[in-house]
């Protein structure tokens, strides 16, 4: 898989996974019903994750153009 594609998926997933566990904690604690927290947190953070993915790709693209030696390749070496 292409590095930018993996980076997009990973950055989006990290935001959504964090919101899932925060919603789970709120639901378990009894602060709010778990169904309400899941729907609210995951819906909003799925959109926030898209912004996170865009920022991540912008940074990786910038670094690969300015300092490509900082980007690791699949075999563990530098570009």
Residue-level pLDDT at 5? 84
* Residue 70: per-residue pLDDT: 84
Per-10-residue mean pLDDT, the chain, length 79: 79 97 95 93 96 93 88 65
pLDDT of residue 64: 86
User: In this structure, is residue 78 part of a structural domain?
Assistant: no
In a domain, 76, yes or no: no
- Phi and psi torsions of 78, nearest 5°: -90, 160
- 49: domain range? 3-70
- The whole-number pLDDT of residue 33 equals 93
Give the distance, in angstroms, between the CA of residue 63 and the centroid of all CA atoms in the same chain. 19
Residue 54 maps to a domain? yes
Contact partners, residue 1, CB within 8 Å, separation at least 6: none
- In-domain check, residue 12: yes
């Amino acid at each position: 898989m292409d590095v930018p594609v993996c980076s997009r998926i990973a950055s989006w997933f990290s935001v959504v996974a964090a919101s899932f566990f925060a919603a789970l904690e709120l639901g378990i604690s009894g602060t709010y019903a778990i169904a309400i927290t899941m729907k609210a947190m995951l819906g909003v953070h799925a959109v926030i994750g898209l912004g996170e993915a865009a920022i991540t790709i912008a940074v990786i693209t910038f670094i690969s153009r300015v300092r490509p030696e900082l980007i690791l390749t699949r075999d563990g070496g530098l570009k």
